[in-house]
Amino acid sequence: MSEPLLRVENLQTRFDTDHGTVDAVSGVSFTVDRGEIVGILGESGSGKSVTARSICRLEDPGNIVGGSITFAERELTTATEATLRQLRGNKLSMVFQDPTESLNPVFSVGEQIAESVRIHESSGTQRLLDFLGVSPFQDRSAWENARERAIELLDQVGIPNPEANVSSFPHEFSGGLRQRAVLAIALASEPALLVADEPTTALDTTTQADILSRLRSLRDEQNIGILLISHDIGVIAQTCDRVVVLYDGQVMEAGPVERILTAPEHPYTRALLSSSVRNSDADKQVQSAMARPRDPSSSHEGCPFADRCQYVTETCRSGPIPTTEAASDHRLACVEAPFSEAKFVSEQQEIPAANGGQQNDTA
């Protein structure tokens, strides 16, 4: 079998703070292939963003203290800044929750996409010209080509009237259009891997559904691998092929979305699904009980979910929890699983709609 596009192996990322060491990611492993969408699901503070930022090597001020990240046959944990810059301009793109982080307010949206196209297409000579401070577009036709490509990309991400909007500035766009523009910039470099960290969280449900559907089209039509970070089970269910469930910086369970979200085996995944359903029924008490975070700066032995698990035994606290194969491509970090169905009889297994039906920003 060929090597996956992205392989994350035993990743460990740590922050040194005034209050002690925070182990944000503690031994996370997963892969992403071309043409698949892998979701990272977990509550707030479970290490989703730090995992994503570690892959893109934006984890600052955290440190990758162990493990490896292989992308496009290169080891990223030790890659130089020059290699990372080259990869980010070509093969690896990122989209974050807040589009204003990625957009430059003083350039038009079209110019920002064209710049991304140019970096992607630039030769070694162009990089030297950049170094010497020579103008990015050497002639009018180069600029016209990049502008045409920008219009195509705006159309691809669903921005209406792209010929006119290519000259718009970020402040002239709504939140939904800004996020689409960021996606267009990310796609301008024709990436092999797109890392999308909560890309639709602040958007209304219609815009969210449209952007998620465009991510699926990118997977199907352009064979892009996508790593989608979300705390929203509905988003993961709608969009992903496989899912990695994180808790306290560790993988609790991972496998095909359909299997994990309809027949989860880890008590944490079960509780997460169940609390999400109850939360959509406005049972905030269950949600807040689920969302109570463990202090990541305190050390722990054994399963990080042990204190909140109704099936906990002495073995769960006595040492590292091995990851086992529950089935082909289904990994599980629980010494007590599998459980008999009767044990879970009171838990609901519905998958809620994306975003819990909340309305936020508009397109």
Shortest Å, Cβ 248 to ligand ATP: 8
Cβ nearer to ligand ATP, comparing 49 with 165: 49
**Residue placing its CB nearer to ligand ATP in the complex, 11 or 260:** 11
- Least CB distance from residue 48 to ligand ATP, whole Å? 4
Residue whose CB is less far from ligand ATP, 158 or 234: 234
Residues that bind ligand ATP (CB under 6 A): 15, 17, 22, 24, 42, 44-50, 61, 231, 296
CB of 15 to ligand ATP, least distance (A): 4
Residue 57 or 231 having the CB closest to ligand ATP = 231
- Smallest separation, CB 11 to ligand ATP (Å): 12
CB of 297 to ligand ATP, least distance (A): 8
Q: Any idea how long the chain is?
A: 363
Cβ proximity to ligand ATP: between 61 and 105 the closer is: 61
Q: How far is the CB of 302 from ligand ATP (least distance, A)?
A: 19
Residue located via tokens 């969302």: 291
CB nearer to ligand ATP: pick between 111 and 197:
197
